[in-house]
């Protein structure tokens, strides 16, 4: 029998590989969507409306996961929806990381008035319900991919700023920072060369988690019909449509939901796995 610790380590390794595997496969599918999707994701055929998936009686050959009420192929729409989801994950996650981590690092290391402003801003941001904030921002910016990315960045930069700030504060009082300063390094130079590398593992973990959050935010916004234009297939939009016909055509809801569920789970497990691997702070 395995002892507890090695069991945990083996499980951690397994979940890292499983998550990375799913995300890799999804990335490949998203890139290759125009070539591997069996149908045009926008092509409507009212004679083929609400066809069930292939193993259910009455399925239409060639439409593996069935069709929605307008006769559009569910599998093709999921593949194209993956492009939107992953694009938002990379762009929104990356930019909020860059903005939030920079501000948090500066606030935590330099302290003083800059830290006061950033901390106050974080407090104000924490008093907003995030989903409502996102919906408001999309109403302001208008629907579209860029708006979603901006909304995620505006809302979620505090996730990075909060953690990185307190981390930089801890590192800032350590001996190695003092000795770098004594050796004649400038403040910003010390921050970038000495403190940043020590905070980097934390940032990478947060970034992975943020990507999963960005995917969810996109899905929620397209669920309330405020995401990118209604034509382009998104998982959230498919789920919203499936919700209305949940009793007649469950597959319209279930398959995009599975894709979304696994993707969010994979990002978060990847983050947790990385945390166990190399970040003593967040653990």
Partner 1 sequence: MQILRILCLRLATTLVTLAGVAVIVFFVIRVVPGNPIAMMLPPGATEADIARLSALYGLDKPMVTQFGIWIAGVVQGDFGTSITTRQPVLDLVLGRLPATLELSIMALVMAVLLGGLSALIGTRGRGGRTEGAIDVVNGMALSVPDFLWGLVLMLVFGVLFPVFHISGRVTPSLDLPFVTDFYLFESLLRLRFDLWADLVAHMFMPALALALPLAAIIGQLLKQSLKETMNLDYVTLARTKGYGETHVIMREALRNAVLPTLTLVGVQFTFLIGGTVIIERLFSYEGLGNMAIDAVINRDLPLIQGIVILFAVIFIAVNLIVDLLYAVLNPRLRHA
Residues binding partner 1 (CB under 8 A): 4, 7-8, 11, 120-121, 123-124, 126-132, 135-137, 139-140, 142, 212-213, 216, 219-220, 223-224, 239, 243, 246-247, 250, 253-254, 257, 260-261, 264-265, 268-269, 272
CB of 117 to partner 1, least distance (A): 11
Q: Please say which residue, 36 or 124, places its beta carbon nearer to partner 1.
A: 124
Q: Please say which residue, 105 or 151, places its beta carbon nearer to partner 1.
A: 151
Instruction: Judge contact between 255 and 167, C-beta under 8 A.
Output: no
Q: Please say which residue, 17 or 128, places its beta carbon nearer to partner 1.
A: 128
Q: Please say which residue, 131 or 170, places its beta carbon nearer to partner 1.
A: 131
**Nearest to residue 156, comparing CAs of 236, 216, 92, 88?**
92
Count Cα neighbours of 49 within 13 Å in the Cβ-side half-sphere: 7
CB of 29 to partner 1, least distance (A): 20
The partner residues of 73 in beta bridges, in order of sequence, read: 67
Q: Please say which residue, 174 or 258, places its beta carbon nearer to partner 1.
A: 258
The partner residues of 141 in beta bridges, in order of sequence, read: none
CB of 61 to partner 1, least distance (A): 26
Tell me phi and psi for residue 169, to 5 degrees: -65, -45
Q: Please say which residue, 158 or 171, places its beta carbon nearer to partner 1.
A: 158
**Nearest to residue 90, comparing CAs of 145, 167, 29?**
145
Count Cα neighbours of 54 within 13 Å in the Cβ-side half-sphere: 7
CB of 142 to partner 1, least distance (A): 7
CB of 82 to partner 1, least distance (A): 16
Q: Measured in whole angstroms, how far is the alpha carbon of residue 279 from the centre of its chain?
A: 20
CB of 176 to partner 1, least distance (A): 30
Query: In 3-state terms, what secondary structure has residue 1?
Result: coil
Give 229-248 as a DSSP string. Answer: -TTS--HHHHHHHHHHTTTT
CB of 261 to partner 1, least distance (A): 6
Rounded to an integer, what distance in angstroms lies between the CA atom of residue 9 and that of residue 97?
28
Q: Please say which residue, 181 or 250, places its beta carbon nearer to partner 1.
A: 250
Instruction: Judge contact between 79 and 30, C-beta under 8 A.
Output: yes
Instruction: Name the token pair of 192.
Output: 């970038």
């Amino acid at each position: 029998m395995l002892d507890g610790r090695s069991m945990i380590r083996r499980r951690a390794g397994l979940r890292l590989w499983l998550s990375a595997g799913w995300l890799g496969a999804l990335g490949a599918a998203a890139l290759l969507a125009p070539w591997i999707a069996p149908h045009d994701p926008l092509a409507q055929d009212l004679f083929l409306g609400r066809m069930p998936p292939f193993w259910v009686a009455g399925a239409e050959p060639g439409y593996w996961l069935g069709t929605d009420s307008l006769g559009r192929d569910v599998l093709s729409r999921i593949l194209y929806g993956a492009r939107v989801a992953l694009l938002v994950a990379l762009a929104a996650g990356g930019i909020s990381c860059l903005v939030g981590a920079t501000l948090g690092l500066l606030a935590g290391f330099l302290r003083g008035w800059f830290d006061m402003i950033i901390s106050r801003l974080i407090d104000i941001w924490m008093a907003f319900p995030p989903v409502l904030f996102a919906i408001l921002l999309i109403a302001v910016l208008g629907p579209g991919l860029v708006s979603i990315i901006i909304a995620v960045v505006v809302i979620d930069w505090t996730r990075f700023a909060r953690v990185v700030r307190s981390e930089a504060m801890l590192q800032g009082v350590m001996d190695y920072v003092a000795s770098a300063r004594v050796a004649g390094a400038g403040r910003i130079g010390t921050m970038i060369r000495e403190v940043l590398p020590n905070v980097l593992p934390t940032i990478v973990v947060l970034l992975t988690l943020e990507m999963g959050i960005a995917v969810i935010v996109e899905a929620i916004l397209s669920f309330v019909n405020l995401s990118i234009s209604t034509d382009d297939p998104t998982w959230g939009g498919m789920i919203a449509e499936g919700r209305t016909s949940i009793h007649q055509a469950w597959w319209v809801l279930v398959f995009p939901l599975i894709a979304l569920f696994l993707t969010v789970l994979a990002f978060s497990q990847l983050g947790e796995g990385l945390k166990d691997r190399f970040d003593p702070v967040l653990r």
